[in-house]
């Protein structure tokens, strides 16, 4: 009798009910990125502005003569806008290969032959990008609110600006959701992460450049709906109760954003399949 | 066997299934039964084998018909079915950026195994498929043969009741191919795992399977036990003689024995049961005055069955 049977053995342990695989996908993806030093460096760099803001808040709370540094609701909007750059970089770095690499390695048929639905696969992949984008927008913004309250030693700021926390949550999530869905949809279109990255950068810059050209020609910012970033800026401004900076009605910008999300979902629905049917 | 018992013995059943890709009918009104154990799904390239497997996995929705796997309707319970089956795809497939043991454990977790169990199973199945030594290597650095093995490992990690193996020996060298076939045979015959082996390679199916479903142009050409499809052995003989060959062939034909030339100087002689087997050949040879230099029963091969099923000579 062998000391240890190295032949095939049947499994007698427990199994999780279907519906949790998206967490397995998300966790595996998050861990994969956290193992990359370059990415960790990028994340630290993205969180550097938070440190600057914390110092600013502390000085403002400690030294009355520095009250010019004291944060207002607009400060948090400015912070989120500042983080747009990092949202862009992280979206390209993390998101470009999320589905494209799986398509290159024919991994979709491996995933979808397991007891998980396509929506779970997409949710798992979205969660990876969502997690990292929230880590540079929503989480630090809420942390800043917390620091402001802690440095002040009272809730006066929150009482006077009740809308700030909901605005941070909605504004950040809007930024994160648009970036995540758009990038994931693009990632599902190709087998090359590099191509997807270039495509995303191209679309972002092209729409912004188009807006710039039309603005220069027409002299009005009513055409800002052409630019994805301008639409986001417009809507998030409104969420923070600021005067919209473009002439396009914010409702139009919101519609464009929602349309973009619907289009992305539609692309994902068509592209994430166990078999690619070429007719 | 009554109907209920017959149904219980089937792991997969297709009834009048049609799959259409654009203008191309990949499966045409297919009705087939796959019994427990090892069943070969045989057919030339483009016959619809892979489409059938993908339809059974729920990747492709049939335009018509009903499919059941392990007594569950594919249309109603795709997740419950996939929890109990393992799929080894035809093309190279892996999760990028993972080593073998992480990849297989990850697949186990996707199939619902707890992380610790999945990791333990990953080590076990990698050992079983012969990748024990290479389990910490990145899958992307694997050779073609190793990639085939890792695909089998990921299909096995959650201990499925039924395996779909799509061309498992593709691109393997002879030694690796033999080892893969040995694994498949072991799983189907000794480990109690039912399997459907899709292949265009007749020897692979003949070696590993007891039953076969032959497909051609999206339809079932024939199906059944391989031994039964091959017919009783011993009625066909390989024969070589010394003497007047044309005359002897004519004499055999007069006595009701058909002859077919094969390679070299050996011919195949079909002896009807009524003539009493090989003695009839000896009697004819004695009467005609030729020497029998070589005579042995010719066992029909699966190739004969396949050729007959798809209408080739």
Q: Per-residue pLDDT tens for A211-233? A: 999 999 999 999 999 999 999 99
Percent of chain A whose predicted confidence (pLDDT) is above 70: 96
* Cα–Cα distance measured from residue B240 to residue B266, given in angstroms and rounded to the nearest whole number: 5
Q: Does residue A260 belong to any structural domain of this protein?
A: yes
pLDDT at A123 over 80: yes
Contact (Cβ atoms closer than 8 angstroms) between residue A80 and residue A168: yes
Q: Does residue A277 belong to any structural domain of this protein?
A: no
Q: What is the CA radius of gyration of chain B?
A: 24
Element (H, E) at A42: helix A37-62
* Cα–Cα distance measured from residue B245 to residue B252, given in angstroms and rounded to the nearest whole number: 10
For position A28, what pLDDT does the model report?
96
Distance (Å) from the C-alpha of residue A42 to the closest C-alpha of chain B?
Answer: 20
Please list every residue in chain B whose beta carbon sits closer than 8 Å to the beta carbon of residue A111.
110
Residue A243 CB partners (closer than 8 Å, separation 6+): A237
For position A135, what pLDDT does the model report?
97
Which residue in A has a C-alpha nearest to residue B54's C-alpha?
A275
CA B155 to chain centre: 18
Quick one: residue B299, left, alpha or beta (phi over 0 = left, psi -120 to 50 = alpha)? beta
Containing structural domain, residue A222: 21-57+70-153+162-271
Contact (Cβ atoms closer than 8 angstroms) between residue B28 and residue B218: yes
For position A277, what pLDDT does the model report?
53
Contact (Cβ atoms closer than 8 angstroms) between residue B90 and residue A96: no
Q: Does residue A8 belong to any structural domain of this protein?
A: no
Contact (Cβ atoms closer than 8 angstroms) between residue B27 and residue B19: yes
pLDDT band for position B4 (cuts 50, 70, 90)? low
For position A6, what pLDDT does the model report?
66
pLDDT at B234 over 60: no
| Three-state secondary structure of B167-193 | CCCCCCCHHHHHHHHHHHHHHHHCCCC
CA A89 to chain centre: 10
pLDDT band for position A207 (cuts 50, 70, 90)? very high
**Which is more confidently placed, B273 or B257?**
B257
Please list every residue in chain A whose beta carbon sits closer than 8 Å to the beta carbon of residue B125.
8
For position A276, what pLDDT does the model report?
61
Q: Does residue A3 belong to any structural domain of this protein?
A: no
For position B251, what pLDDT does the model report?
87
Please state which of the ranges A59-68, B66-75, B214-223, B260-269 shows the lowest mean pLDDT.
Answer: B260-269
Closest CA to B185 of B170, B203, B171: B203
A32 touches chain B (CB under 8 A): yes
How many Cβ atoms from other residues are within 10 Å of residue A109's Cβ? 21
pLDDT averaged over chain B? 89
| Interface-testing mutation among B102, B110, B111, with chain A (most A C-beta atoms within 10 A) | B110
Residue at token pair 């053995």:
A9
Q: What is the mean pLDDT of residues A19-23?
A: 91
B20 touches chain A (CB under 8 A): no
pLDDT at B2 over 70: no
A161 bridge partner residues = none
A106 touches chain B (CB under 8 A): yes
pLDDT band for position B256 (cuts 50, 70, 90)? confident
Distance (Å) from the C-alpha of residue A2 to the closest C-alpha of chain B?
Answer: 15
How many Cβ atoms from other residues are within 10 Å of residue A244's Cβ? 17
A112 touches chain B (CB under 8 A): yes
Residue A30 CB partners (closer than 8 Å, separation 6+): A128, A131, A132
Q: How far from each other are the two terminal CA atoms of chain B, in whole angstroms?
A: 35
Please list every residue in chain A whose beta carbon sits closer than 8 Å to the beta carbon of residue B114.
13-14, 16
pLDDT at A278 over 80: no
The set of long-range contacts for A55-59, using a CB threshold of 8 Å and a minimum separation of 24, is: A57/A144, A57/A147, A57/A148, A57/A151, A58/A147, A58/A151
For position A279, what pLDDT does the model report?
43
- Domains located in chain B, CATH noted: 3-228 (3.40.50.300), 236-297 (3.30.70)
How many Cβ atoms from other residues are within 10 Å of residue A205's Cβ? 12
Inspect the interface and report whether the beta carbons of A113 and B89 lie closer than 8 Å. yes
Contact (Cβ atoms closer than 8 angstroms) between residue A274 and residue A108: yes
Percent of chain B whose predicted confidence (pLDDT) is above 90: 61
Which residue in A has a C-alpha nearest to residue B123's C-alpha?
A6
Handedness of CA A245, A247, A250, A254 (dihedral sign): negative
Q: What is the mean pLDDT of residues B19-38?
A: 92
Query: Which of helix, strand or coil describes residue B12?
Result: strand
Distance (Å) from the C-alpha of residue A118 to the closest C-alpha of chain B?
Answer: 10
Residue at token pair 């039953």:
B211
Residue at token pair 């059943």:
B13
How many Cβ atoms from other residues are within 10 Å of residue A223's Cβ? 19
Output the six-digit token pair for B207.
């070696």
| Three-state secondary structure of B102-167 | HHHHHHHHHCCCCHHHHHHHHHHHHHHCCCHHHCCCEHHHCCHHHHHHHHHHHHHCCCCCEEEEEC
* Cα–Cα distance measured from residue B295 to residue A261, given in angstroms and rounded to the nearest whole number: 76
For position A236, what pLDDT does the model report?
96
Q: What is the CA radius of gyration of chain A?
A: 22
pLDDT averaged over chain A? 93
Inspect the interface and report whether the beta carbons of B91 and A279 lie closer than 8 Å. no
Inspect the interface and report whether the beta carbons of A275 and B82 lie closer than 8 Å. no
* Angle in degrees, 0-180, between the axes of helices B100-110 and A21-34, rounded to the nearest 10: 150
B220 bridge partner residues = B215
The set of long-range contacts for B42-45, using a CB threshold of 8 Å and a minimum separation of 24, is: B42/B199, B42/B200, B42/B202, B42/B205, B42/B212, B42/B213, B42/B214, B42/B215, B42/B302, B42/B306, B43/B200, B43/B214, B43/B215, B43/B216, B43/B221, B43/B310, B44/B200, B44/B216, B44/B310, B45/B200
Please list every residue in chain A whose beta carbon sits closer than 8 Å to the beta carbon of residue B156.
8
Identify the DSSP state of B99: B
Inspect the interface and report whether the beta carbons of B96 and A102 lie closer than 8 Å. yes
Inspect the interface and report whether the beta carbons of B94 and A110 lie closer than 8 Å. yes
* Cα–Cα distance measured from residue A41 to residue B222, given in angstroms and rounded to the nearest whole number: 62
For position A3, what pLDDT does the model report?
60
Q: Phi, psi (5° rounding) for residue B157?
A: -60, -35
Chains A, B: CB contacts within 8 A come to 125
For position B87, what pLDDT does the model report?
96
For position B9, what pLDDT does the model report?
79
* Cα–Cα distance measured from residue B86 to residue B280, given in angstroms and rounded to the nearest whole number: 52
Residue B78 CB partners (closer than 8 Å, separation 6+): B57, B58
Complete DSSP assignment for B47-63: SSHHHHHHHHHTSS--S
Among the partner-chain residues B83, B93, B114, the one whose CB lies closest to the CB of A110 is: B93
Q: What is the mean pLDDT of residues B207-220?
A: 93
For position A195, what pLDDT does the model report?
97
For position B231, what pLDDT does the model report?
65
Handedness of CA B256, B262, B267, B271 (dihedral sign): negative
Please state which of the ranges A7-21, A151-165, A168-182, B146-160 shows the lowest mean pLDDT.
Answer: A7-21
Please list every residue in chain A whose beta carbon sits closer than 8 Å to the beta carbon of residue B128.
6-8
Among the partner-chain residues B86, B89, B96, the one whose CB lies closest to the CB of A109 is: B89
A119 touches chain B (CB under 8 A): no
**Which is more confidently placed, A258 or A20?**
A258
Which residue in A has a C-alpha nearest to residue B161's C-alpha?
A10
Q: Does residue A32 belong to any structural domain of this protein?
A: yes
Query: Which of helix, strand or coil describes residue B305?
Result: helix
Q: Does residue A278 belong to any structural domain of this protein?
A: no
Among the partner-chain residues B113, B124, B154, the one whose CB lies closest to the CB of A110 is: B154
Contact (Cβ atoms closer than 8 angstroms) between residue B165 and residue B38: no
Q: Please state the domain count of chain A.
A: 1
| Interface-testing mutation among B112, B154, B189, with chain A (most A C-beta atoms within 10 A) | B112
Distance (Å) from the C-alpha of residue B7 to the closest C-alpha of chain A?
Answer: 24
pLDDT at A1 over 70: no
pLDDT band for position A5 (cuts 50, 70, 90)? low
Please list every residue in chain B whose beta carbon sits closer than 8 Å to the beta carbon of residue A18.
79-80, 83, 112
């Amino acid at each position: 009798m062998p000391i240890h049977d190295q032949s095939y053995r049947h499994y007698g342990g427990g199994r999780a009910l279907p519906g949790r695989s998206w967490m397995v996908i998300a966790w595996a993806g998050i861990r994969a990125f956290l193992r990359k030093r370059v990415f960790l460096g990028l994340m630290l760099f993205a969180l550097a502005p938070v440190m600057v803001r914390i110092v600013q808040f502390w000085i403002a709370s400690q030294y009355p003569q520095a009250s010019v540094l004291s944060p207002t609701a607009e400060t948090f909007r400015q912070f989120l806008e500042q983080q747009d750059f990092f949202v862009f970089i992280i979206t390209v770095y993390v998101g470009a290969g999320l589905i494209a690499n799986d398509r290159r390695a024919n991994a979709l048929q491996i995933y979808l032959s397991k007891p998980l639905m396509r929506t779970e696969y997409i949710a798992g992949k979205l969660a990876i990008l969502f997690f990292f984008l929230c880590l540079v927008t929503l989480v630090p913004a809420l942390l800043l609110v917390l620091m402001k309250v802690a440095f002040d030693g009272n809730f006066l700021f929150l009482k006077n600006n009740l809308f700030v926390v909901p605005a941070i949550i909605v504004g950040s999530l809007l930024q994160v959701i648009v970036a995540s869905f758009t990038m994931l949809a693009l990632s599902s279109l190709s087998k090359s992460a590099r191509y997807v990255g270039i495509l995303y950068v191209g679309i972002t810059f092209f729409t912004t450049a188009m807006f710039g050209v039309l603005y220069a020609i027409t002299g009005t910012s009513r055409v800002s709906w052409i630019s994805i970033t301008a639409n986001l800026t417009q809507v998030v401004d409104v969420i923070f109760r600021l005067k919209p900076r473009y002439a396009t009605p914010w409702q139009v910008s919101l519609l464009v954003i929602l349309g973009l999300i619907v289009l992305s979902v539609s692309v994902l629905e068509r592209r994430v399949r166990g078999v690619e049917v070429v007719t | 066997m009554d109907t209920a018992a017959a149904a219980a013995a089937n792991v997969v059943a297709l009834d009048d299934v049609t799959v259409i890709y654009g203008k191309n009918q990949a499966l045409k009104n297919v009705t087939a039964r796959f019994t427990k154990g090892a069943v070969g799904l045989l057919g030339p390239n483009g016959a619809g084998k892979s489409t059938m497997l993908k339809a059974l996995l729920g990747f492709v929705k049939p335009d018509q018909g009903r499919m059941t796997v392990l007594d569950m309707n594919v249309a109603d319970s795709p997740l419950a079915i996939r929890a109990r089956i393992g799929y080894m795809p035809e093309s190279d497939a892996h999760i990028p950026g993972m080593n073998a043991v992480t990849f297989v454990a990850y697949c186990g977790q996707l199939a619902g195994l707890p992380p610790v169990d999945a990791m333990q199973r990953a080590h076990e199945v990698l050992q079983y498929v012969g990748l024990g030594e290479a389990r910490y290597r990145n899958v992307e650095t694997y050779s073609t043969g190793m990639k085939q093995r890792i695909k089998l490992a990921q299909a096995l990690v959650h201990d499925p009741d039924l395996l779909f193996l799509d061309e498992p020996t593709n691109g393997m060298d002879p030694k690796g191919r033999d080892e893969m076939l040995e694994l498949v045979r072991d799983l189907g015959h000794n480990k109690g795992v039912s399997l459907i082996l899709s292949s265009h390679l007749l020897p692979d199916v003949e070696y590993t399977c007891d039953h076969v479903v032959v497909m051609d142009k999206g339809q079932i050409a024939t199906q059944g036990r391989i031994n039964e499809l091959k017919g009783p052995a011993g009625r066909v003989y390989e024969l070589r003689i010394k003497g007047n060959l044309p005359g002897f062939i004519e004499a055999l034909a007069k006595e009701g024995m058909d002859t077919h030339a094969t390679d070299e100087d050996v011919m195949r002689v079909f002896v009807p049961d009524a003539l009493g087997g090989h003695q009839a050949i000896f009697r004819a040879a004695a009467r005609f005055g030729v020497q029998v230099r070589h005579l042995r029963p010719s066992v029909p091969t699966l190739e004969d069955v396949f050729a007959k099923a798809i209408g080739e000579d």
